[in-house]
Amino acid sequence: MICLIRHGETDWNLQGRIQGGTDIELNENGVKQAEACKTYFEGADWDLIIASPMKRAKRTAEIINKALNVDLVEMSDFKERTFGEAEGLTLAERNKLFPDGNYPGQESKEDLESRVMAGIGLINKTFPNKKVLLVAHGAVIHAILSVTSGEEIDFTNTKLLNACLSNIEYTEDKWHVHNYNQIDHLTVDK
């Protein structure tokens, strides 16, 4: 079982700016969201936490781990997708500069899916039968959910909220999505 957790909010999330490979810290609300996740997982039985090494994901994982005190492993496979020249821009700015949605210098969807699913495979191989919390990013989690759901869940039909939870499990030789974009544990106001 892997519980995918999107990192808490950053100032760029709040401003609607695309972050990608830009390493942005959590803002005050993002810390509160991570604390709400920590509270949710208190007393739960998880074997380890894996996190993207990017500041916003790693800090979210560190806060959650205060409740679990398990090994925290950084895996670069789960760094956010890079969006090239679009990073730092709002949706309106991106639409004006790149109306076709193709951002110069961005990581392709295929490369992203290949990278993150290789990481998921490595988790499954290295930590078989373990319950893993994976703290990562919106595009990363979208890619995982899209592949594991046979493209039923993707960024065009689902906006993953900051600090949301999504659960996948490997059974009968394939991944299954149990639920996604769960936010009931968040009691913080935006």
* Residue 160 Rama label (left phi>0; alpha psi -120 to 50; beta): beta
Task: Give every CB contact of residue 85 below 8 A, 6+ residues apart in sequence.
Answer: 97, 98, 103, 104, 105, 106
Q: Which of 9, 35, 80, 107 is catalytic?
A: 80
Active site (annotated) includes residue 74: no
Active site (annotated) includes residue 80: yes
Q: Which of 7, 9, 35, 107 is catalytic?
A: 7
Task: Give every CB contact of residue 161 below 8 A, 6+ residues apart in sequence.
Answer: 6, 181, 183, 186
Quote the strand ranges of the chain, DSSP E.
2-6, 48-51, 71-74, 132-136, 165-171, 174-182
Active site residues: 7, 80
